[in-house]
Structure 1
């Protein structure tokens, strides 16, 4: 009997697709967003953390959309997220307005709210 020989692949590996992110590419996506949207750095400030905490206390750690009590730490679905009701898109007045921010659960923020924002891009980017 003769030995089997391995054949060379006839197809080259595919390059990255436009708009496609593999599960490990989230850091690259964040890097690009930080470079093109400098206001994202505001989320890392003490001022933002204090403002978000004030919103959580005001809302009694309760999701203002679903009524879920937000008692866990991220990334748990019932962890609190400070969500801008009206997208700010870099407008400091909207970003820092406590009346424009509400407590929502991470599950609500990452699910229904994100779907709504994708459906209504005009509202999202005004």
Structure 2
């Protein structure tokens, strides 16, 4: 989990703490999700690839992204 925690904390500043879906800026990282753009389906290379990660606010992730993945 330490590797994931470090990775997500690199993605948020890269994306300027801004949700890629609704453009909401959120300084509280507990309200942000480091999301996989393309489902990794167990593919470790895709899971860890920074280019496959994006910042989403929790509402966008929990509502919109989860619905898309179902």
Q: TM-score, normalised by structure 2?
A: 0.93
User: Which structure 1 segments of 5+ residues have no match?
Assistant: 1-44, 119-126
Q: Alpha carbon RMSD of aligned pairs, Å? A: 1.0
Runs of 4+ in 1 over 3 A off after TM superposition: none
The higher radius of gyration belongs to 1
TM-score in terms of structure 1 length: 0.53
Could you tell me how far apart the structure 2 residues matched to 1:99 and 1:93 are? 11
| Structure with more contact order per residue of length (Cα contacts < 8 Å, sep ≥ 6) | 2
Q: 2:3 and 2:64 mapped to 1: Cα distance? A: 28
The Cα of 1:117 is off from its aligned counterpart by 1.0
Kindly provide the CA deviation profile for residues 14-47 of structure 1, in whole angstroms up to 9, marking residues without a partner as x.
Answer: xxxxxxxxxxxxxxxxxxxxxxxxxxxxxxx111
| Aligned: 1:93 with 2:55 | no
Gaps of 5+ in 2: none
Higher percent of residues as strand: 2
Are 1:71 and 2:23 matched, yes or no?
no
